[in-house]
């Protein structure tokens, strides 16, 4: 961490008027988003006991690897790249900034992306849902707010009351869902998006199957053929079925398939990050 960032951290640590998470985050917004993320990655830090008590803690390296396959600075670089794409494309599509936006992290995991959204908006504005109870337990252990809740694997509603969101994002969620789970989820998210809101999701291109470690060469070839013929391919993992459907595995899909399968959504933009080369970012609006 560079000296000027440490100076801001020391100033906040020693400022007696900084007493809440909101105060600490407001002060840290003077830094770049990457530096903001680096500070959160280091929490708790014994050199800054007050900030460590105010800011959410980062999950252990073991948890990070278990949930994402990566950890530490390398994972932070992937995360900040996605959040920068969120910010840029949100403004590009809606004409507004993410400042004070209401946000839903659909499939929030242990909350790594949600923490970075604090750079833009208050924690009371950020919600997270995940079907894995352990994910939500980890969010709460890290000190994230009570806006993080368990959802269903085939959700027909979400535990967020009547909230409508300016931004909903799903990172590495639809890359793992069966056709039925994806259709159920996108139809449900349509109920919770603001009329002028934006949905961001990641999908995998057909090239993914050449790198998939769960499939044999014969399966890879069949999945590529299916993707090119139908626009969607799914390889289920050895998971217990949910209502007769194995909802989790690996999937790829085309933009044309999304456009036909989900007429209640309109694709407005796409993006991609070179350090996450087997995912594509897709931005949709209701209508």
Q: What tens digit of pLDDT does each residue of 16-40 get?
A: 999 999 999 999 999 999 999 999 9
* 281: β partners: 202, 271
Q: How confident is the model at residue 275 (pLDDT cuts 50, 70, 90)?
A: confident
49 confidence band (pLDDT: 50, 70, 90): very high
pLDDT band at 256, cuts 50/70/90? very high
Mean pLDDT of the region 234-251: 90
Per cent of the chain over pLDDT 70 is 100
Tens digits of per-residue pLDDT, 119-159?
999 999 999 999 999 999 999 999 998 899 999 999 999 99
Q: How confident is the model at residue 210 (pLDDT cuts 50, 70, 90)?
A: very high
Q: Are 103 and 167 in contact (CB under 8 A)?
A: yes
In this prediction, residue 70 carries a pLDDT of 95
pLDDT band at 266 (very low <50, low <70, confident <90, very high): very high
Kindly report the pTM of this predicted structure: 0.96
Question: DSSP character for 42?
Answer: T
pLDDT tens by residue, 56-77: 999 999 999 999 999 999 999 9
What is the C-alpha to C-alpha distance for residues 26 and 45, in angstroms, rounded to an integer?
A: 19
pLDDT of residue 242: 85
What integer is the mean pLDDT of 5-22? Answer: 98
Compute the C-alpha angle 145/128/87, nearest 5°. Answer: 105
Give residue 214's pLDDT: 86
User: What average pLDDT is seen over the chain?
Assistant: 96
58-96 burial, b at 16+ Cβ within 10 Å, e below that, comes to bbeeebbeebbebbeeebbebbbbbbebbbebbeebbee
Do the beta carbons of residue 156 and residue 132 sit within 8 Å? no
Q: In this predicted structure, what is the pLDDT of residue 245?
A: 85
Q: How confident is the model at residue 238 (pLDDT cuts 50, 70, 90)?
A: confident
For 241, other C-beta atoms within 10 Å of its C-beta total 11
Confidence at residue 145, expressed as pLDDT on a 0 to 100 scale: 86
- Set out the domains of the chain in order of their start, with CATH numbers: 3-54 (no CATH), 71-286 (3.40.50.150)
pLDDT at 107 exceeding the cut of 90: yes
The model's confidence at residue 187, banded by pLDDT at 50, 70 and 90, is: very high
DSSP summary character for residue 130: E
204 bridge partner residues: none
Give yes or no for a contact between 35 and 77, defined as CB atoms under 8 angstroms apart. Answer: no
């Amino acid at each position: 961490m560079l000296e000027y960032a440490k100076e801001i951290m020391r100033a906040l640590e020693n400022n007696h008027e900084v007493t809440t998470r909101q105060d600490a985050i407001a002060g840290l917004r003077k830094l770049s988003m990457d530096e903001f993320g680096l500070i959160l990655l280091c929490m708790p830090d014994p050199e800054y006991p007050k900030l460590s008590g105010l800011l959410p803690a980062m999950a252990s390296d073991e948890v990070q690897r278990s949930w994402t396959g990566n950890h530490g600075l390398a994972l932070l670089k992937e995360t900040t790249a996605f959040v920068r794409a969120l910010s840029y494309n949100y403004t590009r599509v809606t004409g507004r900034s993410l400042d004070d936006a209401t946000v839903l992290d659909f499939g929030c995991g242990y909350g790594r992306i949600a923490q970075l959204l604090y750079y833009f908006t208050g924690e009371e504005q950020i919600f997270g849902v995940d079907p894995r109870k352990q994910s939500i337990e980890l969010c709460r252990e890290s000190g994230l707010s009570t806006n993080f809740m368990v959802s269903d694997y085939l959700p027909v509603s979400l535990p967020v009351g009547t909230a409508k969101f300016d931004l909903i994002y799903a990172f590495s969620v639809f890359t793992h869902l069966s056709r039925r789970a994806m259709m159920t989820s996108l139809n449900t998210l349509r109920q919770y998006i603001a009329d002028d809101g934006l949905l961001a999701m990641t999908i995998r291109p057909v090239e993914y199957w050449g790198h998939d470690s769960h499939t044999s060469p014969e399966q890879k070839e069949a999945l590529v053929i299916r993707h090119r013929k139908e626009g969607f391919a799914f390889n289920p993992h050895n998971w217990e079925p949910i209502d007769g459907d194995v909802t989790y595995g690996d999937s790829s899909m085309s933009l044309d398939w999304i456009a036909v399968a989900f007429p209640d959504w309109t694709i407005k933009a796409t993006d991609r990050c070179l350090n996450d080369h087997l995912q594509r970012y897709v931005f949709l609006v209701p209508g």
